[in-house]
Chain A
């Protein structure tokens, strides 16, 4: 082929290389509707709703890439297949969550009332109005104790591991122990606290502080881990910059490294609180049951908590008990949500500002 005008030839070639046939716009909706119709047909034919959903999703996952393969090319078909799989996985993960939220809210909302939130279960029998005030206060106290124990220990451990221990034997040992602690079944933490205070205060001691100790065993490893990750994110350049200004190491840590990482640290701490606030097993064992309000965590008497309240109400197996259990679940759920919200807000407030 003789090239008379190379520029014209180039243009033709470019078009051939860069463009290809494409599916019509909205193709995914077409396939989606078709898949939906197939699912509907399956329902009509007597397949269960779950089976029909599976059929519909599969039809979409196969049909859409296949069409793309026929009209477009292999890469585009792969793209559509993987995109479809990712969305399916996302839905599989999110649907149960939304369902759970919906169930808790719809079944718990009716129970929530000013009385429910301000009454305890003191001498409540039959259809008397009771409430979870005692459990709510107990949860706040027990979780507060756990936080007061875990946050300083956890943060200081992380500071040692990152700032002082870098790779020495002690640090490796501590890291190993923290990993082991992460894996402790929560009931074992409860049994440990129960056994500990049985030894110290006599057999059968169940009280708020014991519950706090049990929860702190579960909380410390998460605080250490999340704080460690945040401290690692502070570049060594910044530490060196502070040293070069004649700032001692401890001041560099307290006045520069911690403020730089504080947003992430606080977020991690709050999330670790919301993780232990719903623990039931360790509290059953370590802080026990109590229908009455008990605000003294150090008094040798059980302290009720919201998860244990839910458990007891459910085991009553009366209509009212089940109702109260859902109410308790909703209260717990709101507590966790509020904590997560706080974590997010704090995280954004303290995040280093770029000013751009």
Chain B
């Protein structure tokens, strides 16, 4: 599923957080967004599955299509969009009332989808294996998800997101709470998932962007209080060796500010 974004600006009430983004995300590829804190990476990511409008007063201008369909079209159901476009958040947020098992199945359970026990078991195991959590929790699937460590909780959230088999997966700094081993596991996972899903990931880790992504978008603020904008969007290789924009080079090489 390719994602086309055209002249998109994003608002929180009167505040324009992101201005005039145009980009094209290739299907079955990994696209990374980098940029300084507060430049609107999370905000932009959340517009791709219509999560932005959940915040009161927040709205989006412009046109975003996924697989050719305008996701902000007049008759589009945001719920249908979110079923196709899954998301992993910056902070782990397992459901506190649910066990580990139920958390993985949350997408199905909350939607009251009926399934056989064996089918459910298969989904849980493959999602947890996918998120590199299976070995740590296989003996306590009935225990509450909140009882896991922060990094384990984040992997549980990844398992939960892939258990509903979306076609696009948005990840907002999914590794910021993880140790290097789990991070490497998630990166491997991203590589695997790439063959089936379109992945968009926000990261503050340049090496990670360089390792996992095919394309990279660099967001920046013109000045404090100004809206963020997309400075450059190019294949990752080019971005990290020969960027078009001097600001990109400054940011990537750490000479920024």
Contacts and interface: CB of A to CB of B under 8 A. Distances in A.
B87 A244 contact: yes
Contacts of A246: 79-80, 82-84, 86, 107, 111, 164, 166
A343 to B, nearest CB: 19
A341 interface: no
Interface residues of A, number: 26
A95 B125 CA distance: 59
Nearest to A356: B147
Nearest to A260: B97
Interface residues of B, number: 33
B96 A241 contact: no
A245 B93 CA distance: 12
Given A237-B91, A251-B111, A260-B97, A242 B146 contact: no
A12 B87 CA distance: 60
B109 interface: yes
B189 to A, nearest CB: 18
Interface of A: 166-167, 235, 237-248, 251-252, 255-256, 259-260, 352-356
26 contacts: A238-B93, A238-B96, A240-B89, A242-B106, A242-B110, A243-B79, A244-B49, A244-B51, A244-B161, A245-B86, A245-B107, A245-B110, A246-B80, A246-B83, A247-B79, A251-B110, A251-B111, A255-B109, A255-B110, A256-B97, A352-B97, A352-B146, A353-B147, A354-B147, A355-B146, A356-B147
Given A240-B93, A243-B79, A245-B86, 20 more contacts: A237-B89, A238-B93, A241-B95, A243-B82, A244-B49, A244-B161, A245-B83, A245-B107, A246-B79, A246-B83, A247-B79, A247-B111, A251-B111, A255-B110, A260-B97, A352-B144, A353-B96, A354-B144, A355-B147, A356-B147
Interface of B: 49, 51, 54, 56, 78-80, 82-84, 86-87, 89, 91, 93, 95-97, 106-107, 109-112, 143-144, 146-147, 157, 160-161, 164, 166
